[in-house]
Structure 1
């Protein structure tokens, strides 16, 4: 491992200054939520955020069961680099989309996780399974569920991560990337100190592993 081996995505950004702060702290990607959520942004606001970010920060749009044409239009309008799908989208839907996709899979059980290989996507994001929830719950799952799991696409770990547990998560799971939202918030708003602490902790663990 090197200090850049685990990619870090801060999700649910809602304004350009906070997104820029995340990028400055070392985030590799920022997530913009277009699905019903308290973190939802309009395409116009998302475009403003995307245009403000440095060129090497990945812009990810989060959608839930949206029509493919709508997703493509928003991606083009905002300048999104990747699409993250958190609904019941099928493998066929992902092929039809013809965009770089991340598919979120709930950590419901081993069978559900193994079915992730049916998806023709660039990465698989594994999140906590909460009935009726589409993510952002702030709750972890048993990471041991991922032990020995063989995925065709890189694994992004999500679900209840925060500065206090992300180091342990990275050391145990060794994911391609980690995704955080509520774990770097105070009173429902992204906190710059927590974002920086989260990113620093991931980097520290990776450097230690490399040594």
Structure 2
């Protein structure tokens, strides 16, 4: 199971997450308590392995701004978390992850018109478009709903429920932000535990012996 740790704002946490086995690191460029500057994100990306996905989260941003930030930072994917249209999504030169907030049985209908390879299923909207720690009813989703797309599951995930979520949804990737935080800050122990649970690895290796101090 692939794992994305989103809302990263410092290098120490990014490196630790990758050492623990994260496959993707997410940077929020939209209004959020986890918003990061282009300069800081660029510095973090410069220290990440090539094979790790670097995903930028945008909400109703202009195409020009998205392209500019993505190129400058060195992003591999663009995550659209707003009201972006299928035409807008297709106009971008970077691979797109389109987010959809699941709040009723009709929520998935809108995503059918998007040609993007990845769809991120998130919980209901809160103060921000994402990262609110809210989940949707996983039992309401069928793998047949999006058979031609890679599903990334987000919203309300944490170390205690990620295994059940994976069994029910069988996603391509799980995405967590607030679920690995303590008092609004990324918690390295929670990140490690979440990744181990998601990947079914409950035994520690050499990397588990490394001690980090978050900035």
TM-score (norm 1): 0.91
Kindly indicate whether residue 183 of structure 2 is the aligned counterpart of residue 187 of structure 1: yes
Name the CA distance, whole Å, in 1 between partners of 2:113 and 2:200. Answer: 34
* One of 152, 172, 176 as aligned partner of 2:172: 176
Q: Deviations over 1:23-80 (max 9, x none)?
A: 0000000000000001000100010010011111110000000000100000000000
What is the alpha-carbon root mean square deviation over aligned residues? 1.2
Task: Indicate the residue corresponding to 2:156 in structure 1.
Answer: 160
Kindly indicate whether residue 141 of structure 2 is the aligned counterpart of residue 128 of structure 1: no
Task: Indicate the residue corresponding to 1:96 in structure 2.
Answer: 91
Paired residue secondary structure (1:95): helix
TM-score (norm 2): 0.90
Paired residue secondary structure (1:155): strand
Q: CA deviation at 1:204?
A: 1.1
Q: CA deviation at 1:112?
A: 2.0
Task: Indicate the residue corresponding to 1:3 in structure 2.
Answer: none
Kindly indicate whether residue 200 of structure 2 is the aligned counterpart of residue 200 of structure 1: no
Are the equivalent residues in 1 in contact too, given 2:103–2:136 (CA < 8 A)?
no
Are the equivalent residues in 1 in contact too, given 2:126–2:132 (CA < 8 A)?
no
Paired residue secondary structure (2:168): helix
Q: Say how many residue pairs are matched.
A: 200
Paired residue secondary structure (1:110): coil
Are the equivalent residues in 2 in contact too, given 1:117–1:153 (CA < 8 A)?
no
Structure 2 residue runs without a partner (length 5+)? 202-215
Structure 1 residue runs without a partner (length 5+)? 1-5, 206-211
The runs of 4+ residues in structure 1 deviating greater than 3 Å are none
Task: Indicate the residue corresponding to 1:140 in structure 2.
Answer: 135
Q: Deviations over 1:156-187 (max 9, x none)?
A: 11000000000110011111110000000011
* 1:195/1:131 CA distance change after superposition, 3 Å: closer
Name the CA distance, whole Å, in 2 between partners of 1:196 and 1:132. Answer: 27
Are the equivalent residues in 1 in contact too, given 2:5–2:24 (CA < 8 A)?
yes
Q: CA deviation at 1:110?
A: 2.4
